[in-house]
Amino acid sequence: MSRNGPFSLYEFFAGGGMARLGLGEHWGCLFANDFDPVKAAVYRDNFGDAHMREGDVWALTSSDLPGRADLAWASSPCQDFSLAGARAGLTGGKSSAFFGFWRLIEALDDEARAPRALVIENVSGLMTSHGGTDFAALTEALSSRGYRFGALEIDAAAFLPQSRPRVFIIATREAVPANLIGPSPFHTRAVRAAFSHLSMEQRSHWLWWRLAAPPLRNQTLAALLEPDAAVDWRTPEQTGKLLGLMNPTHYDRLKTAAAKGRAVGAVFRRMRGGDQRAEARFDGLAGCLRTPAGGSSRQTLVVAEGDEVRSRLLTGREGARLMGLPDSYRLPASQTAALQVVGDGVAVPVVRWLAEHLLEPLLGEADRKPAAA
């Protein structure tokens, strides 16, 4: 089957195709799947109809997957792993979709078509769900088919003005070049703790992937926003109610920032001790984007300058920019649908960094070496 680049991809739980976009021009997609009709429609709108198969991953068989891909990327539903969710883990109704994906990998392996590498991306809560037993179950599945693996916890804030930590589990059966193993700033405390909870057998399959930090980010939240005149602002009364939900610490933070000039902050409503509170940050970052129905309120922006304070909701286009999507990326017309697509995605520059500095060197080098025993 023809492809657009030297590397080929299966993209599971593809959403709006942000992993594909991040991998870039060196990668050709052989197959993509998502259950959500809105996300599948957005995928087709941006990448065409050729590869997207809409529907439940459990309804797929290996015969639906053409050829042999270099990489299978799986960003399985994260609600059951998220700290904002019920923490049902791999037994949860949505995150159990991972095993629908894994069933296909096993079937491909039985046909000698297993992908050369896998990336499993999820919320960082995957590493601690059920005391680490969910992470151990996932790694046990990988090792049962001869994959070696390691994890990196990467916060999109290193690349974009959004706080968005995620875990990336990279697995392979290929020979691994020595320069891809070593220390990394992405071997966080959570990653080291997850490793420490694995059995000795699972640890024997572990790889400490080397991935350098990117150059320092020089972009702030304010730089990605629409012009003031192009968006709808809340009434002064609505803004006043929002400010009334702030505790003294957060209100003082707002006033201190405003005293220095125009200040742009991100606000979430949260329940604290049974009371609803508005919590603001003025560090140049947005809070982690979430879907509007994902258990947290839609993110609000506050713009303060001197004694004037205005507020409004984040737009879908602004959310897309916070994920590293270009303005040419086609979004649904509905703001809620647009934020659902981007809030469930993976940050594009993180994927590109991972591809350029780990996946492509791994697979390119493996082309010239025999697979490890």
In order of their start, the domains of the chain are 7-217+345-366 (3.40.50.150), 227-314 (no CATH)
78 is catalytic: yes
Q: In degrees rounded to 5, what are phi and psi of residue 118?
A: -130, 145
- Ranges of H-type helices in the chain: 18-23, 37-47, 97-110, 133-144, 189-196, 200-203, 236-244, 248-258, 316-322, 335-343, 348-354, 360-366
Which pTM value belongs to this model?
Answer: 0.91
- Structure tokens, 197: 């909870």
Q: What is the DSSP letter of 15?
A: T
Q: How do 148-155 and 263-272 pair as beta strands?
A: unpaired
- Structure tokens, 317: 């286009």
* CA 268 to chain CA centroid, nearest Å: 20
Residues of the chain with pLDDT under 70: 1-5, 78-95, 292-297, 365-373
Q: In degrees rounded to 5, what are phi and psi of residue 167?
A: -100, 135
User: Would you state the pLDDT for residue 290?
Assistant: 83
**Residues 40-49: contacts with CB within 8 Å, 24+ apart?**
40/14, 41/332, 42/15, 42/16, 42/17, 42/330, 42/331, 42/332, 42/341, 43/14, 43/15, 43/16, 43/17, 45/330, 46/16, 46/17, 46/21, 46/329, 46/330, 47/17, 47/20
Q: In degrees rounded to 5, what are phi and psi of residue 106?
A: -60, -40
- The Cα–Cα gap between 293 and 86 comes to 14
Q: How do 148-155 and 165-172 pair as beta strands?
A: antiparallel
**Residues 251-254: contacts with CB within 8 Å, 24+ apart?**
253/280, 253/281, 253/282, 254/280, 254/282, 254/302, 254/304, 254/309
Cβ pair 285, 159 in contact under 8 A = no
Helix (H, G, I), strand (E, B) or coil at 325: coil
- The Cα–Cα gap between 22 and 32 comes to 15
Strand blocks (E) in the chain: 7-12, 27-34, 52-54, 71-74, 117-123, 148-155, 165-172, 263-272, 275-281, 300-305, 308-313
User: Would you state the pLDDT for residue 57?
Assistant: 92
Q: What is the DSSP letter of 200?
A: H
Among 78, 304, 337, 348, the one annotated catalytic: 78
User: Would you state the pLDDT for residue 373?
Assistant: 31
- Structure tokens, 297: 């309120």
